[in-house]
Amino acid sequence: MSLPPPDPSAPSSTTPDAAASGAAHPAAEAPVPATDPAAPAPATAGSVTEPAGASAAAGTRKHTALPKARTLIEALPWLTRHHGRTVVIKFGGNAMVDDELKAAFAQDVVFLRHAGLRPVVVHGGGPQITAHLDRLGLVSEFKAGLRVTTAEAMDAVRMVLAGQVQREIVGLLNAHGPFAVGLTGEDAHTMTATKHYARIDGESVDLGRVGEITTIDPGAVNALLDDGRIPVISSIARSADDGHVYNVNADTAAAALAVALGAETLIVLTDVEGLYADWPDSDEVISGLTASELEKLLPELSSGMVPKMEGCLYAVRGGVRTARVLDGRVQHAILLEIFTDEGIGTMVVPDDPSATHPGGPA
């Protein structure tokens, strides 16, 4: 992958129990005669008689709430670590077509924003593009993991990404508040591309209107982030060479933008659990590896994983502290990865951690 070199320079809904809400315990509904041997001793001045069962109820409430408190405490060091940092998230795969997964994704991104992070969403739209091309009678063909895009298909790609997919993501995020703003790589020259040729068996292959990023201008994105917004960016870009608009792989676009923004983390959502150690002979997922280790594995990867892992490699070598590949089929995968000790998926780190952006936490 050819990319530009990095620039060095609800409040609780728990209902109170009857004792706590002032309702009388059955044993206290009528006064007890003073001569009754079972009558309780009179309360002394200043004492408070606890309704029967209140202590047990309070203990139950405390017990059931403790796991929630522990979860919050577990997240504390991660909240501290990532506060104020930019996180670029590539949204794609089945997570884009399942309503529950889409809703969970929007909740995760808005949570990041409220937790003090600066999330940026870069999206593709493979399933939606394929469905639209099928309706138009246009064949979807892939080479080297990339969609072959004719001039006619490019019109459909542009319409689906900017007019359908982006609008839906913005709507899902804005259901939680006025946060999301949609734009494409064309807007404010955010992304500039040139025609991309794939290499297959040593041969150069023309993919049509498929582009590769040449430059990133993060000005508009940074302005939105500084204003507390969540940028949602469609992966299409205009060429400075021929003026054409190109379909840019969203994994590649997200990686280039993460580097240009000096992001703390790049997150790539996929339809698999992560990077497998020996697929298809084993379903063991590699939890973490260095850039050099990943580079050695690239020739052995399936074509669909190559752009994703190349993007991760480019990101960490461009100063991004971590790049993570997560299973987008898991609800709240983003929160599980960032804010828990276990994490999920595969994390790529630089060979030399000191080479990451100087503003990042230790």
List the binding residues for substrate: 125-126, 147, 247
Task: Give CA angle at 87 (249, 229), nearest 5°.
Answer: 95
- DSSP state at residue 165: I
Secondary structure (3-state) at 290: strand
Neighbours of 277 (CB within 10 A): 15
Residue ranges at the known binding site: 125-126, 147, 247
For residue 265, the tally of other CB atoms under 10 A from its CB is: 24
165 burial (CB, 10 Å; 0-12 / 13-18 / 19+) is buried
How far lies 33's CA from each of 28, 45, 247, in Å? 12, 20, 87
CB neighbour list of residue 101: distance below 8 Å, 6 or more residues apart: 94, 95, 328, 329, 331
- 200 phi/psi in degrees, rounded to 5: -125, 120
Q: 302 and 290 in contact (C-beta within 8 Å)?
A: no
CA 312 – CA 322 distance, rounded (Å): 8
**Rounded-to-integer distance, Cα 115 and Cα 223, Å:** 19
- Residue 119: asked if its preceding bond is cis (omega within 30°), the reply is no
CA dihedral defined by 180, 183, 187, 190, rounded to 10 degrees? 80
